[in-house]
Amino acid sequence: MRNLADLEPIAKIGRYDVIGRLASGGMAEIFLARESGPHTVHRHVVIKRILPHMTDDERMVEMFVHEAKLCMNLSHPHICPIYEFGDDDGRFFLAMEWVRGVSVRELIDRAGGPLPVPFVAQVFADVAGALHHAHTCVDASGKPLAIVHRDVNPENVMVGFDGVTKLLDFGVAAAATERKHKTEAGNLKGKFAYISPEQYQGLALDGRSDVFSLGVSMFEALTGTNIYSRASEYETVAAIVLDPEVPSARELVPELSDDLDRILARALAKERDERYPSADALQADLDAFNARAGYRLRPSDVAAELRRLVPDLVDADPPLDRRPPTLRRKASEPDEDEVEDHRANGSAELRAMALAVEADEDTEELLGKRGRGGRLLVWLSVLVILASLAVVGWVVTRPRAPTEPATPSAPRP
């Protein structure tokens, strides 16, 4: 693995030296950056910065600021911490811990089936503890915030190569003070197959909604199967809201213990009054299960399991895009990378722009790769179109000869 300290920065965001782009989403782009101090002291951080064409979208900016406000109140060993919320030439950014690791989503996909029970039980006990902290945290004045994450899924659970699990992305979380407004506005958040029944029903949410989502994620990690994922979004919602039965994990993986199956069933109860009353209660049951089974793993044990499961990722360089970050643009001029990202995420808003970019790429290929004959064909096509427009314009605007007035008919007797 290369020494990241040797990489020259490609840009600067605030006081951070950017060394590469890690990812780009629908609202923000993610960079790996370096924070430097005196005497060559430095650490690597992740910068989440709002996309250039989103800076004029008040709703998107409000969501970004909202995430910063909530996350600044969270301090837990299994929640990815925010170091700074800043403004870089009119574009907000968050500086946060770089969790060098792998998501549970990628681990499930790589395994193609169930993950080891001790590993899953420990990872999700840690996440339950992180959720309990969010659900019970208070602001600077001591007022309970009662934050609900609303997007708990395997993609947002990161297991560090150091064996420490982190819960990520509170971007769509809601605090008690704003939850009523969010629900009434119909802002459905989260990925369809992980959303609780009460969230689909538009009810006021509490921490038990996240417990359900965590149960779906844990079920998938233990069985390799998402219990509610269907061929269409409609069928997925129907399975969560209308089907009263909670599937048994042991039907898919018979070797799972009755204790673990019972824990999953309670976390997945459709009626929230039958669910765990808190994420803390779920963590207590998982900790007790781990103790009885002798599964209590230390971070070093989790790290060793990762090295066994994904040895190639543990020793790999982070996937860095070393192109300079995009400059601020007008809303009508998105960057090609942003258009590609929206195209991949199914954004109807930018599909026309994506097609325009593809058309430009096709034209460049025609002009650049097909030689003189290709260029001639393109220019002939352009000339034919222009000639056609000229003919149409002439027909419409040409002077016309005056017409003879019609002879009035004789009045009928």
Distance of CA 185 to the CA centre of its chain: 21
Angle (nearest 5°) at CA 313 between 33 and 215: 95
Instruction: Report the distance separating Cα 279 and Cα 274, nearest Å.
Output: 14
Calpha distance 101→161 (Å, rounded)? 5
Is the pLDDT higher at 96 or at 71? 96
Q: How confident is the model at residue 288 (pLDDT cuts 50, 70, 90)?
A: very high
Q: What is the mean pLDDT of residues 140-157?
A: 91
Q: Which CATH number does the domain housing residue 135 bear? A: 1.10.510.10
Q: Is the pLDDT of residue 375 over 50?
A: no
Q: Which two tokens stand for residue 116?
A: 């080891």
Q: Encoding tokens for residue 413?
A: 């007797």
330 in any annotated domain: no
**How far apart, in whole angstroms, are the C-alpha atoms of residue 260 and residue 126?**
16
Average pLDDT over residues 331-335: 48
pLDDT digits (tens, 9 = 90+) for 158-174: 999 999 999 998 876 77
Indicate the pLDDT class of residue 379, thresholds 50, 70 and 90: very low
Mean pLDDT of the residues in the chain: 79
In the predicted model, is pLDDT for residue 311 greater than 80? yes
At residue 66, the pLDDT reads 81
In a domain, 323, yes or no: no
Residue 70 CB contacts under 8 Å (≥ 6 apart), including other chains? 145, 147, 170, 173, 175
Which residues make Cβ contacts (< 8 Å) with residue 361, sequence separation at least 6? none
Residues 232 and 276 reside in one and the same domain: yes
Q: Is pLDDT larger for residue 40 or for residue 46?
A: 46
Distance CA 410, CA 17 (A): 93
Q: What integer is the mean pLDDT of 121-144?
A: 94
Least confident interval from 263-272, 316-325, 328-337, 380-389 = 380-389
User: Do residues 45 and 139 both lie within one domain?
Assistant: no
Does one domain contain both 45 and 111?
no
Domain boundary, last residue among 317, 351, 374: 317
By mean pLDDT, which of 218-222, 301-305, 362-366 is the weakest?
A: 362-366
Note whether 224 and 303 are same-domain residues: yes
Residues 81, 205 within the same domain: no
Question: Poorest-confidence range of 59-73, 145-159, 320-334?
Answer: 320-334
User: Mean per-residue pLDDT for 331-343?
Assistant: 47
Residues 67 and 113 in one domain: no
Domain annotation covers residue 331: no
* CATH number for the domain harbouring residue 69: 3.30.200.20
Same domain flag for 30 and 123: no
What 3-state DSSP class applies to 408?
coil
Helix (H) or strand (E) segment spanning residue 97: strand 91-97
CA atoms within 13 A on the CB side of 86: 16
Report which of 310, 331, 319 is spatially closest to residue 160, judged by C-alpha positions: 310
Average pLDDT over residues 203-212: 95
Domains: count for the chain: 3
Q: What is the 3-state secondary structure (H, E, C) of 143-211?
A: CECCCECCCCCHHHEEEECCCCEEECCCCCCECHHHHHHHHHCCCCCCCHHHCCHHHHCCCCCCHHHHH
The DSSP line for 237-306 is HHHHHT------HHHH-TTS-HHHHHHHHHHT-SSGGGS-SSHHHHHHHHHHHHHHHT----HHHHHHHH
Considering the domain architecture, whether residues 87 and 127 belong to the same structural domain is answered as no
Contact between residue 227 and residue 216 where contact means Cβ atoms under 8 Å apart: yes
Catalytic residue among 17, 88, 151, 169: 151
In a domain, 399, yes or no: no
d(CA 127, CA 120): 11
Query: Which DSSP letter does residue 410 get?
Result: P
Mean pLDDT of 116-141: 95
Indicate whether 277 and 369 sit together in one domain: no
How confident is the model at residue 347, as a pLDDT? 37
90 and 117 together in one domain: no
115, part of any domain? yes
Question: Residue 181 pLDDT more than 50?
Answer: no
Q: 0.85 cut: is pTM over it?
A: no
In angstroms, the Cα distances linking 292 to 96, 217, 242 are 37, 23, 36
Q: Average the pLDDT over each of 54-68, 70-84, 254-268, 311-325 and give the range with the smallest value.
A: 54-68
CA 76/CA 349 separation, integer angstroms? 38
Same domain, 33 and 126: no
**Is 151 annotated as catalytic?**
yes
Residue 332: predicted pLDDT: 46
- The answer to whether position 407 is within a domain reads no
Per the structure block, which two tokens stand in for 185? 């506005």
The phi and psi torsions of 152 (rounded to 5 degrees) equal -75, 120
Residues spanned by the domain of 124: 101-317
Residues 197 and 292 in one domain: yes
pLDDT at 371 over 50: no
Residue 336 is predicted with a pLDDT of 52
